[in-house]
Chains A and B, each alone.
Chain A
Amino acid sequence: MSLARYRFVLIRPLQLLPVLLGISIITFVLVRSIPGDPARVLLGARSTPDAIAKIRAQFALDEPIWVQYLYFLKNLLNGDLGKSLLYKVDALPLIAGRIEPTVLLVLGSVLLALLIAVPLATLAARHKGGWADNLIRLFTTAGLGLPAFWLGLMLILLFSVHWGLFPVSGYGRTWADKLHHLVLPCLTIALALSAVLVRNLRASILLELQADHVTAARARGLGEGAILRRHVLPNAMLPTINLLAVNIGWLISGTVVIESLFSLPGVGQLLVRGIFTRDYMVVQGVAMVLACATVAVNFIADVVTTALDPRVTIQ
């Protein structure tokens, strides 16, 4: 009975195939629309005729464009995203090696954002219209307009330069060191993200506080704290989880900027460096990997929602 609700886990990946195909088409078109001879573009300025001939053969550059795409797709399925111009290695392993900081950054930010947003939203909803509510409203309005790169710099100014608590930039070797380096980047994204979350969560907590089942819980003599913990928050968190999934693209966009700011060796930093060094294979690979990650996260969010809400059945 309840397992049937998870049937979409098997079907959904098939339905997502067109989107994944579309992602590959867009990235393919992007790189091919660079003006100039594709072989020269891919190999950079100092290309030898030998290398150009090799690339021409590998990507079937003399064939019509749709055949080229099929070759591109074939390489893709073999896990071949091309070679990085700058690093002289295959793009895929290069990207894979950069994933850890990015994933940690995203997870840490979401966790921190929830830790900030849930108490604030609860406080605001409990004292709706009071000074705490207005103060928090001000925080969210300001938070929505904060440029992440500037917020990060201000945090560096305060926590690193002034108090010397956290390193200014870079990434560590040991786990403790890595986490130490990740605190400020995560806090930066979390502050911006929590502004979005607080607004939403406050509204859904207010809605839930008025909900009939909460009145019924009060009528059973439950205290406000228990009602909040057991009945209001679980129900109010469901839309918030959805919101997180919707915002994953925005979140990943944030990591691109923040990784550059804090010199974190993540995927986003690779992308920005790739753009400046005209390392198109890397740019193309990163764009594709991050798009697939977005799609995957949305899929995971559906699974999580199904697990948390017994009413949900996704077709």
Chain B
Amino acid sequence: MSPALLQVRELSVIARAGQRDITLVDRLSFDLGQGEILGLVGESGSGKTLACRGLMRLLPSPNLRLEGQAVRLAGNDLLRLDKAGMRRMRGRELGMIFQNPSSHLDPLMRIGAQIAEGIRLHQGASRREARAEAIEVLRQVGIPDPKTRVDSYPHEFSGGMRQRAMIAVALGCNPKVLIADEPTTALDVTVQAQILRLLLELRDRRGLSMILISHDLGVVAQTCDSIAVMYAGRLCEHGAKQALLSQPRHPYSAGLLACHPATRRHAGLMNTIAGQPPLLDALPAGCRFEPRCPQATPDCRAQLPELRVIAPGHRLACHTPLLAGGLS
């Protein structure tokens, strides 16, 4: 395997609350290859969005800070870069699109101008070149009649078109890695599928690598090459899509799968995982999933399981993994 394009090593996001620290993302490590789409899955509050904000070094509050060994991308360690250096990485190397396209586009600026802004910044293009490029990008993301739409304002677009426009704004900077934070959650189901198809297309055409954050296993299953499952700020399982979907080893992954309507084996009531995720300021000492885990043993309560490689390209953090071969 070629060396990974993006290497994340032990990335933590820590919140300062009064006198003590609360770890919101705990030593996250993963690799992302060229052209790979990684699905980051977990329920809300599991830290997946925060982890990606951490990758961009755009934490939403000054009370949050990053720690970690390294985040290597294009020969740089993002954690060691100064502010200006990090700014040069954003957009050009590492792009990001968001859940709610309506609020993530500047309402007072024409779409074309927002795309051109990134093009001019990162490629040093002239005003005219940037405009031509913006039209081209709009065409690539499948906006009909891009020559006139380039002068539209965000509110003149429909929801799906707005999401395409936001993707175009990110693509204008020509990033190597695109982080997509729940890109389809706010959209209709039919539009969802279109946007996912667009992302796949862009991967094929541009060799774009992506991190796709989603709480929806269906979305991830349609799109990703590999899947990472997060729970309460920690990575609990990471592996190739096929392996993970057909044979989840972590009880939480299995539980998530069982909850999903498409993969549900039995008719009748929808399955749920009993209980609530732990509060991050009152974490159990052992495995964080232990209170809700059907497989839990006293060992799980005593000791936090570390992430181990259990098979080539498959990592797991569990004392009592499910047997390979299906749900026990």
Task: Tell me the A residues contacting B by CB distance below 8 Å.
Answer: 211-213, 215-223, 226, 230-231, 234-235, 238, 308-311
Interface residue B98 (Cβ < 8 Å from any Cβ of A):
yes
A185 to B89, CA, bound (A): 50
Chain B hits for A311, CB < 8 A: 107, 153, 155
Are B108 and A219 closer than 8 Å at their CB atoms? no
Other-chain residue from B92, B103, B106, B118 in contact with A231 (beta carbon distance below 8 A): B106
A221 to B106, CA, bound (A): 15
Q: Tell me the chain B residues, 72-111 only, with Cβ under 8 Å from chain A.
A: 87-92, 95-96, 98, 100, 103-109
Scoring B residues 162 to 202 as 1 if CB is less than 8 Å from chain A, else 0, what string do you get? 00001001101100000000000000000000000000000
In the complex where A212-B103, A215-B58, A216-B98 touch, is A222 in contact with B117 (Cβ < 8 A)? yes
Are B155 and A215 closer than 8 Å at their CB atoms? no
A209 to B104, CA, bound (A): 12
In the complex where A211-B103, A215-B58, A310-B155 touch, is A220 in contact with B108 (Cβ < 8 A)? no
Are B169 and A235 closer than 8 Å at their CB atoms? no
Chain A hits for B109, CB < 8 A: 230-231, 234
A223 to B118, CA, bound (A): 11
Known: A215-B104, A221-B91. 14 other contacts (CB 8 A): A213-B106, A215-B58, A216-B96, A216-B104, A219-B56, A220-B169, A220-B173, A221-B92, A221-B173, A234-B109, A308-B108, A309-B108, A310-B153, A311-B107
Are B105 and A216 closer than 8 Å at their CB atoms? yes
Nearest to A308 among chain B residues (CB) is: B108
Are B87 and A221 closer than 8 Å at their CB atoms? yes
Cβ of A229 to closest chain B Cβ, rounded Å: 11
Chain A hits for B90, CB < 8 A: 218-221
Are A221 and B121 closer than 8 Å at their CB atoms? yes
Are B173 and A213 closer than 8 Å at their CB atoms? no
Chain B hits for A309, CB < 8 A: 107-108
In the complex where A212-B100, A220-B169 touch, is A310 in contact with B108 (Cβ < 8 A)? yes
Nearest to A210 among chain B residues (CB) is: B60
Nearest to B155 among chain A residues (CB) is: A311
Are A220 and B155 closer than 8 Å at their CB atoms? no
Are B117 and A220 closer than 8 Å at their CB atoms? yes
A209 to B95, CA, bound (A): 20
A220 to B92, CA, bound (A): 7
8 contacts between A and B (CB under 8 A): A212-B103, A212-B104, A213-B103, A215-B98, A219-B58, A222-B91, A230-B106, A308-B108
A217 to B90, CA, bound (A): 10
Interface residue B122 (Cβ < 8 Å from any Cβ of A):
yes
Chain A hits for B98, CB < 8 A: 212, 215-216
In the complex where A212-B100, A213-B106 touch, is A220 in contact with B58 (Cβ < 8 A)? no
A310 to B173, CA, bound (A): 26
| Chain B contact patch, size range | 20 to 34
Cβ of A240 to closest chain B Cβ, rounded Å: 14
Chain B hits for A215, CB < 8 A: 58, 60, 98, 104
Nearest to A220 among chain B residues (CB) is: B91
Cβ of A215 to closest chain B Cβ, rounded Å: 6
Are A217 and B108 closer than 8 Å at their CB atoms? no
A115 to B258, CA, bound (A): 61
Question: Most A CB atoms within 10 A — which of B96, B100, B104, B170?
Answer: B104
In the complex where A219-B95, A221-B92, A310-B155 touch, is A213 in contact with B107 (Cβ < 8 A)? yes
A220 to B175, CA, bound (A): 9
A42 to B3, CA, bound (A): 95
A218 to B166, CA, bound (A): 14
Are A221 and B88 closer than 8 Å at their CB atoms? yes
Question: Most B CB atoms within 10 A — which of A212, A221, A223, A234?
Answer: A221
Question: Most B CB atoms within 10 A — which of A216, A231, A309?
Answer: A216
Q: Tell me the chain B residues, 216-250 only, with Cβ under 8 Å from chain A.
A: none
A153 to B155, CA, bound (A): 50
Chain A hits for B118, CB < 8 A: 220-222
Cβ of A239 to closest chain B Cβ, rounded Å: 13
A211 to B154, CA, bound (A): 15
Chain B hits for A221, CB < 8 A: 87-92, 118, 121-122, 173
Chain A hits for B96, CB < 8 A: 216, 219
Question: Most B CB atoms within 10 A — which of A217, A220, A231?
Answer: A220
Cβ of B282 to closest chain A Cβ, rounded Å: 28
Cβ of B93 to closest chain A Cβ, rounded Å: 9
A235 to B155, CA, bound (A): 15
Cβ of A168 to closest chain B Cβ, rounded Å: 44
Other-chain residue from B58, B106, B121, B170 in contact with A218 (beta carbon distance below 8 A): B58
Nearest to A216 among chain B residues (CB) is: B104
Cβ of B90 to closest chain A Cβ, rounded Å: 4
A265 to B328, CA, bound (A): 93
Scoring B residues 47 to 64 as 1 if CB is less than 8 Å from chain A, else 0, what string do you get? 000000000101010000
